[in-house]
A and B are shown apart, each in its own frame.
Chain A
Amino acid sequence: MTEAPILEIRNLSKTFSQPVSLGGRITNLFGGKNRPVNVQAVQDVDITVESGEVVGIVGESGCGKSTVARMLAGISTPSGGSVRWRGKDVAEMTAKEHRAFDLGVQMIFQDPFASLNPRMRIVDIIGEAAVKHGRIRRREQRDYVGSLMEKVGLSSAYIDRFPHQFSGGQRQRIGIARALAVNPNLIICDESVAALDVSIQAQVLNLFMDLRDELDLTYLFISHNLGVVEHISDRVVIMYLGRVVEVAPTDALYGDPNHPYTRLLIDQVPSLEAGKRDYAPIAGELPSPLNPPPGCAFNPRCPWATERCRTERPALREIAPGRLSACHLNDTA
């Protein structure tokens, strides 16, 4: 490999724990056995992102995909594992290097109504970080913000407006301009088009692709919408209950899914071509992460589960060049 991957995460884990309540602690004094409740939201996740790539992360609610994003963006701290940025471990970075990493990774959120401060004008929402981090001088702010607004398809005449004066699609563009203001290399989109109407969603997806070409961006695109991910991604990571179950190039994943969960998930995607058809629904629901099933986490819902799946957890292994899957069925085949 000539160049280190832009982002490499290894064994990344996050445990949320709920401390014992006051009542629980009092009963503990009298011999109670209340322990803190731990939820393993993310367990041993490995993802490698090459520069210029679009990597999609797909999974149902509660699978830990947003928790991964929030750890990468520095919103929450990992409980374990390592993150390497351009080959350098983030934990060992100097303050200056860490600043470069923080600015290099920017996030675009799901809800364009909740992610903009309603009391700030657009000129400050977009320009504040760039001024603060010394990327531009304060007197250059208006011109800089104006050019960013034009870049994301907003008229710079709106520079002094407040967020409530914009529609959902326009606000999402403001969120994009804010992320771009500090010249990031990697953009994390956490369900960034989920709240938008179909026609506006198409506009924003096109904007993402134009910006990628123009600014040489890398995207980590998190979504539960398989159609959107198929459209935009080069590679796709499928997560289930806090773990990665399959990684593959988009064509391979959609054309020939390996893991049973991926197979069933892709069957569920409503599509225009399918017309009137019968859905063969995945039985059951996502198990609670508080009490994950032993063995393979998907075994209670898997139609092909064997005795081994109920006891032993499958490791994520390479099944073909560039393809990883965590399933015991690959051993027998």
Chain B
Amino acid sequence: MTARQTTDTMPLLRVQNLQTHFLTRFGAVKAVDGVDLELAPGEILGLVGESGSGKSITGFSILGLIDPPGRIVGGSIEFDGRDLLAMKERELRRLRGNDIAVVFQDPSMTLNPVLRVDTQMIEAIQAHETVSSAAARQRARDVLVKVGIPSPDERLRCYPFELSGGMRQRIAIAIALLNRPRLIIADEPTTALDVSIQGQIIHEVRELCRETGTALIWVTHDLAVIAGLADRIAVMYAGRIVETGETDEIIHHPMHPYTRGLIDSVPSGSTRGARLHQIEGMTPSLLELGEGCAFRDRCHRATEQCRETPGVTSLGNTREFRCWHPETGGDQ
């Protein structure tokens, strides 16, 4: 299934039938098992799923950051018409941090604790371009202003431990923006932050994507966060994309029972006093996954037919899902 872009221009990123497996002594763990994605320049895609759904591994596969025992065993990843999987490590290095940037969940993992912020930012610029330190410093300062950091000159001279978590994450985002990338992969960048800081960061990131035309893949488990941010959403379950479409469509007319379940289990004021809808059971072990729909044991609509792997059903231009018995309930 292809999470297809909305416009007709040439896609910036095209992932086809990506398979990333972890070869353990218990067998192959199919963390990503046949994922298709397309992303246009400037587009924001929300990649949603629970722990173990393969959403982060999909992101890391695009970045070429899969370490043994993990391995990309099949499929293709094209960025701007170039095949990333055929690239040498040296070419990939030139691309990473330059054309494709990444923001991780934990900013204290991104930043080197013993280097000042300016040292790290200048290093990130000079790794890709021959510019003077003064010019690089100026650019680092400009980017800090852009992500909304007050008194940037002072912050540049700080060590990471002197900054709060929200500030550190903003610096991590600033570093990702330094070389004006065309694609940013953000892996749960606001999960560890407070709501007020999360609001600020989502606001800034969206502005930046609009301004600079940077495409963004925002990996998260929180549908509520992505509903206010993404153009399109792809929902992952057990290594596969089970449903994809435009944000409004997914939120208001989910087709896959899993998407429906995820949306209904978000607690809020309108659910007070009532029991939350809950998806029974838990995510299956990726080791024992056989034929058929991986969600069938937790699905209230499952039948005998679900023992066969469901194919892709297309609805219109951007809407696709994998289910034998899609939801027909209409509006939420």
Q: Do A and B come from one complex?
A: yes
Residues of chain A at the chain B interface (Cβ within 8 Å): 60-61, 167-170, 197-203, 205-206, 209, 224-228, 230-232, 250-251, 254, 264-265, 267-272, 274-282, 284-286
Chain A residue numbers with a CB within 8 Å of B267 are 201-202, 205, 227-228, 230-232
Residues of A within 8 A of B197 (CB): 60, 285
Let me know if B275 is at the binding interface, CB within 8 A: yes
Assess A206 versus B278: contact at CB under 8 Å? Given A198-B50, A198-B265, A270-B225: yes
Closest 6 CB pairs of A and B: A231-B267, A202-B265, A281-B200, A268-B199, A197-B50, A202-B276
Q: Interface size on B (CB < 8 Å)?
A: 45
Q: Which residue of A lies closest to B192 (CB)?
A: A61
**In the complex, what residues of B have CB within 8 A of residue A170's CB?**
282
Known: A60-B194, A61-B165. A272 touches B251 (CB 8 A): yes
Q: Which of B167, B227, B229, B280 is the one whose CB lies under 8 Å from A271?
A: B227
Complex CA gap A239/B279 in Å reads: 33
Binds A, one of B139-147, B216-224, B307-315: B216-224
Interface pair A197/B228, CB less than 8 Å apart: no
Interface centre among B164, B167, B267, B277 (most CB of A within 10 A): B267
B200 near A231 with CB under 8 A, answer no
Q: How far is the CA of A250 from the CA of B269 in the complex (A)?
A: 9
B135-161: which residues lie under 8 A (CB-CB) from chain A?
150
Q: Report the minimal beta-carbon distance from B242 to chain A, rounded to whole angstroms.
A: 14
Contacts of A276 in B (CB 8 A): 227-229, 247-248
Decide: B272 and A227 in contact? CB cutoff 8 A. no
Contact of A279 with B228 in the complex, beta carbons under 8 Å: yes
Closest to B248 in A: A275
Per-position contact with A for B163-198: 1 when CB-CB < 8 Å, else 0?
A: 011110000000000000000000000000011111
Q: Which residues of B contact A225 (CB under 8 A)?
A: 195
B228–A270 CB distance below 8 A: yes
Taking CB atoms, residues of chain B closer than 8 Å to A206 are 275-276, 278
Known: A271-B224, A272-B263. A200 touches B282 (CB 8 A): yes
Q: Which of B196, B199, B222, B269 has the most CB of A within 10 A?
A: B196
Q: Given contacts A254-B269, A270-B225, A271-B268, is CB(A285)–CB(B262) below 8 Å?
A: no
Contact A230 B247 (CB under 8 A): no
**A272, B271: Cα distance in complex, Å:** 13
> How far, in whole Å, are A267 and B196 apart by their CA atoms in the complex?
9
Q: Among A205, A225, A231, which residue has the most Cβ atoms of chain B within 10 A?
A: A231
Q: Measured between alpha carbons, how far is A225 from B203 in the docked complex, in Å?
A: 19
- Residue B261 at the A interface, CB < 8 A? yes
How far is it, in angstroms, between the C-alpha of A267 and the C-alpha of B283 when the chains are bound? 33
In the complex, what distance in Å separates the CA atom of A199 from the CA atom of B281?
9
* A197 pairs with B51, CB closer than 8 A: yes
Q: Let me know if B266 is at the binding interface, CB within 8 A.
A: yes
Kindly identify which residue among B50, B164, B266 contacts A227, using a CB–CB cutoff of 8 Å. B266
Chain A residues near B195 (CB, 8 Å)?
60, 224-226, 265, 268-270
Q: Write the chain A residue with the least CB distance to B263.
A: A272
Chain B residues lying within 8 Å of A231, measured Cβ to Cβ, are: 267-269, 271-272, 276
A205 to B275, CA, bound (A): 8
Q: Are A199 and B203 closer than 8 Å at their CB atoms?
A: no
Are A199 and B266 touching (Cβ within 8 A)?
A: no
B247 proximity list for chain A (CB < 8 A): 275-276
B248 surroundings in chain A (CB, below 8 A): 275-276
CA distance A167 to B263 in the complex (A): 22
Q: Pick from A198, A205, A275, A281: contact of B199, CB below 8 A.
A: A281
Shortest Cβ distance from A325 into chain B, in angstroms?
19
In the bound complex, do residue A272 and residue B266 qualify as a contact, i.e. CB atoms below 8 Å apart?
Answer: yes
Q: How far is it, in angstroms, between the C-alpha of A331 and the C-alpha of B262 when the chains are bound?
A: 45
Residue in A closest to B52 when the chains form the complex, CB atoms? A197
**A237–B125 alpha-carbon span in the complex (Å):** 46
Q: Mark B107-120, 1 if CB is under 8 A from A, else 0.
A: 00000000000000
Q: Are A224 and B50 in contact (CB under 8 A)?
A: no
Say yes or no: is B202 at the interface (Cβ < 8 Å to chain A): yes
Q: Which of B166, B197, B225 has the most CB of A within 10 A?
A: B197
Contact A197–B196 (Cβ < 8 Å): no
Judging by beta carbons under 8 Å apart, are A281 and B203 in contact?
Answer: yes
- Answer whether A270 and B196 are a contact pair too, CB < 8 Å, given A231-B267, A285-B164: no
Other A-B contacts than A203-B280, A286-B164, 15 sampled, CB-CB below 8 A, are A61-B194, A198-B223, A199-B278, A200-B50, A202-B265, A202-B277, A206-B278, A230-B272, A231-B267, A231-B276, A269-B195, A275-B227, A279-B199, A281-B200, A282-B196
Task: Please list 15 pairs of residues, one from A and one from B, whose beta carbons are closer than 8 Å in the complex, sorted by A's number.
Answer: A61-B165, A169-B282, A205-B276, A209-B275, A227-B269, A231-B276, A254-B269, A268-B199, A272-B266, A272-B268, A275-B248, A282-B200, A284-B150, A285-B166, A285-B167
